[in-house]
Chain A
Amino acid sequence: MVTANRTWDGAVVYRTAKQGWSTELSDSAIVTTSDEARALLAEATADDVGAVGPYIAPVELKDGGKVKPGNLREHIRAKGVTIDLQVPA
Chain B
Amino acid sequence: MYAYDELDRTLINERVSEFRDQVTRRLSGELTEDEFKILRLQNGVYLQLHAYMFRVAIPYGTLSSKQLRRFAHVARRYDRGYGHFTTRQNIQFNWIKLAELPDALADLAEVGIHAMQTSGNNMRNVTSDQWAGVAPGEIEDPRIWSELIRQHTTLHPEFSFLPRKFKIAITAAEHDRAAIKIHDIGLRLHKNADGETGFEVLVGGGLGRTPFIAKTIKPFVSGRDILSYIEAILRVYNQYGRRDNIYKARIKILVHELGIEKFAKEVDEEWKAMGDVGLTLDHTAIEEVRSRFSYPAYEKLPHMPDELKQAAHDKLFERWRKNSVSAHKVQGYSIVTLSLKPVGGPPGDASAEQMDAVADLADKYSFGEIRVGHEQNLALPHVAKRDLPALFKALDRLGLATPNVNLVTDIIACPGLDYCSLANARSIPIAQELTRRFANHDTADLIGRLHINISGCINACGHHHVGHIGILGVEKNGEEFYQITIGGRADENAQLGTLIGPAVPYAEVADVIEDIVEAYLALRDRPEELFVDTVKRLGVEPIRERVYATR
Residues in A lying within 8 Å of B, measured CB to CB: 5, 7-12, 48-49, 52-53, 71-73, 76-77, 80-85, 87-89
The answer to whether A7 and B82 touch (CB under 8 A), given A83-B429, A89-B398, is: no
- Contact for A48 among B29, B98, B354, CB less than 8 A: B29
A34 CB to nearest B CB, Å: 19
Do A88 and B354 have beta carbons less than 8 Å apart? yes
Do A73 and B51 have beta carbons less than 8 Å apart? no
Instruction: Jot down 15 A-B pairs with beta carbons below 8 A, ordered by A.
Output: A5-B51, A8-B27, A8-B97, A12-B50, A48-B32, A48-B33, A72-B480, A76-B50, A76-B417, A80-B50, A82-B418, A82-B429, A83-B428, A87-B82, A87-B399
* Chain A contact residues: helix, strand, loop or mixed: loop
Do B354 and A10 have beta carbons less than 8 Å apart? no
Taking CB atoms, residues of chain A closer than 8 Å to B200 are none
Do A10 and B428 have beta carbons less than 8 Å apart? no
Chain B, Cβ-Cβ closest to A80? B50
The answer to whether A71 and B418 touch (CB under 8 A), given A5-B47, A88-B354, is: no
Known A5-B52, A83-B418; 18 more pairs at CB < 8 Å? A8-B97, A8-B98, A9-B51, A10-B96, A12-B49, A53-B33, A72-B417, A76-B49, A76-B417, A81-B419, A81-B428, A83-B429, A87-B345, A87-B350, A87-B351, A87-B399, A88-B342, A89-B398
Taking CB atoms, residues of chain B closer than 8 Å to A49 are 27-29
CA of A80 to CA of B49 in the docked complex: distance in angstroms?
A: 9
Taking CB atoms, residues of chain A closer than 8 Å to B51 are 5, 9-11
B424 CB to nearest A CB, Å: 9
Chain A, Cβ-Cβ closest to B399? A88
CA of A9 to CA of B94 in the docked complex: distance in angstroms?
A: 11
B359 CB to nearest A CB, Å: 15
Taking CB atoms, residues of chain B closer than 8 Å to A89 are 351, 353-354, 398-399
Do B345 and A73 have beta carbons less than 8 Å apart? no
Does B157 make an interface contact (CB < 8 A)? no
Chain B, Cβ-Cβ closest to A77? B49
Count chain A CB atoms within 10 A of each CB in B28, B342, B346 and give the residue with the most. Answer: B346
Do A87 and B418 have beta carbons less than 8 Å apart? no
CA of A5 to CA of B419 in the docked complex: distance in angstroms?
A: 13
Q: Give the 8 A-B residue pairs with the shortest CB-CB distance, closest first.
A: A88-B399, A10-B51, A9-B97, A49-B29, A10-B52, A81-B418, A87-B351, A87-B349
CA of A31 to CA of B417 in the docked complex: distance in angstroms?
A: 26
Does B426 make an interface contact (CB < 8 A)? yes
Do A71 and B478 have beta carbons less than 8 Å apart? yes
CA of A83 to CA of B428 in the docked complex: distance in angstroms?
A: 7
Does B80 make an interface contact (CB < 8 A)? yes
Hey, what's the 0/1 contact readout for B195-231 against A, CB within 8 Å counting as 1? 0000000000000000000000000000000000000
B513 CB to nearest A CB, Å: 18
Taking CB atoms, residues of chain B closer than 8 Å to A73 are 49, 417
B46 CB to nearest A CB, Å: 10
CA of A8 to CA of B28 in the docked complex: distance in angstroms?
A: 10
Do A87 and B346 have beta carbons less than 8 Å apart? yes
Chain B, Cβ-Cβ closest to A53? B47
Taking CB atoms, residues of chain A closer than 8 Å to B350 are 87
B540 CB to nearest A CB, Å: 30
Taking CB atoms, residues of chain B closer than 8 Å to A82 are 418, 426, 429
B265 CB to nearest A CB, Å: 44
CA of A81 to CA of B49 in the docked complex: distance in angstroms?
A: 10
CA of A53 to CA of B398 in the docked complex: distance in angstroms?
A: 40
CA of A5 to CA of B9 in the docked complex: distance in angstroms?
A: 34
Do B398 and A10 have beta carbons less than 8 Å apart? no
Do A83 and B351 have beta carbons less than 8 Å apart? no
B446 CB to nearest A CB, Å: 25
